[in-house]
Amino acid sequence: MMHHFIVIGNPISHSKSPAIHTAFAQSVGLNISYQRQFCPNDFDSFKAVIEAFFCGGGVGANITLPFKEMAFDICQTHGLLSHHARSAGAVNTLMLKDGKLFGDNTDGRGLVADLNAHDIDLQGKKVAILGAGGATRGAILPLLESGADIFVYNRTPDKAKQLATDFHHQISPYPLSDLSGHFDVIINATSATTTGQTLDLGSVSSDVAYDMMYGKPSAFLNHFKNAQQIDGFGMLINQAKLSFELWTAKQIDLTQENLIKSLIKIRQ
């Protein structure tokens, strides 16, 4: 039996999700079809694509930019949301649950899973996050659940303060210009690596430097020459793993030798 999945985005041709999920399926002996789906950037088109996919027997959809907030709105109005999706205000994983559209967000848990895979225990650790956009919002609840003490730095202080309010002041907001001192982990959740923008990192230091982006030279990571440096490819793999397991109830073993080889090829 063939199980059908898609990833919806605009643009979408660059997505590695089909290769990743096909590798997962092969590792557990499932027969799947996973396709990229381009969608015009408007609400009606996106809603129509989702409805057509699930009415046609689709099992699961991944949602990428710029549709994560639209997916959230649809699930909030017409379906169901996980508590991680509610916290993130965005959905990256869709499926049908009890006949209703169910939205989840696996991005932040993918980040935490990747940090854990690098033997980084977050309990009681000082974690700085640069940026106060959607990527940071999605990461906060999983980081709080892991016991981290979170400090958010953003060029626009009001955005960081709003995040702190939204999370009942469980995080500490600061302007990016105040970034200083030493952290156990520092995370770049801005788009600086992909846009080529420069972050003013001053004299801040950290034991671990994590860039959510990957595939391009990272001035952020290069700044932390004495730190353990990690890019976002492992986060991509782990958020995909969580989606796949939700859809299929199959557990993915990322230590399986053949799967490791497949994922290395995908990264290249």
Q: What is the pLDDT of residues 20-79, one digit of tens each?
A: 999 999 999 999 999 999 999 999 999 999 999 999 999 999 999 999 999 999 999 999
The residue to which tokens 């017409």 are assigned: 78
Sheet with 60-63, side-by-side order of all strands: 32-38, 3-9, 60-63, 93-97, 100-104, 80-81
Q: Between β-strands 182-188 and 126-130, what pairing exists: parallel, antiparallel or unpaired?
A: parallel
C-beta separation of 232 from 258 below 8 A = no
- pLDDT score at 244: 98
pLDDT for 111: 98
User: How much of the chain, in percent, has pLDDT values that exceed 70?
Assistant: 99
How large is the greatest C-alpha to C-alpha distance in the chain, in angstroms? 57
Do residues 174 and 129 touch, judged by C-beta distance below 8 A? Answer: no
For residue 197, the model assigns a pLDDT of 77
Taking the C-alpha atoms of residue 258 and residue 147, their distance in angstroms, rounded to an integer, is 34
- pTM (two decimals): 0.96
> What is the model's pLDDT at position 199?
86
Do 3-105+234-267 and 109-231 share a fold? yes
Beta-strand ranges (E) seen in 121-161 are 126-130, 149-154
Question: Would you say how long the chain is, in residues?
Answer: 268
Cα–Cα distance measured from residue 130 to residue 115, given in angstroms and rounded to the nearest whole number: 17
Rg (CA), the chain: 18
Spans of all domains in the chain: 3-105+234-267, 109-231
Tally: H helices and E strands in the chain = 11, 12
Q: Distance (Å, rounded) from C-alpha 88 to C-alpha 119?
A: 25
Mind listing the pLDDT tens digit for each residue in 184-241? 999 999 987 777 777 889 899 999 999 999 988 899 999 999 999 999 999 999 999 9
Give every CB contact of residue 137 below 8 A, 6+ residues apart in sequence: 87, 88, 89, 90, 163, 166
* 182, two tokens: 């030493």
Instruction: Give the whole-angstrom CA distance, residue 27 versus residue 233.
Output: 19
Which strands sit side by side in the sheet containing 228-230, from one edge to the other?
172-175, 149-154, 126-130, 182-188, 205-211, 228-230
Q: What is the pLDDT of residue 1?
A: 83
Fold classification of 3-105+234-267 is: Rossmann fold (3.40.50)
What is the rounded CA–CA span in Å between residue 216 and residue 162? Answer: 31
Q: Which CATH superfamily does the domain covering 109-231 fall into? A: NAD(P)-binding Rossmann-like Domain (3.40.50.720)
Q: What is the pLDDT of residues 131-184, one digit of tens each?
A: 999 999 999 999 999 999 999 999 999 999 999 999 999 999 999 999 999 999
CB hemisphere CA count around 211 (13 angstroms):
21
- Residue 167 CA to residue 164 CA, distance in Å, equals 5
Number of neighbouring beta carbons within 10 Å of residue 23: 22
Bigger pLDDT: 253 or 217? 253
Catalytic residue among 68, 125, 126, 241, which?
A: 68
68 is catalytic: yes
Name the band, by pLDDT with cuts 50, 70 and 90, for residue 121: very high
pLDDT of residue 192: 75
Q: Note the pLDDT of residue 253.
A: 98
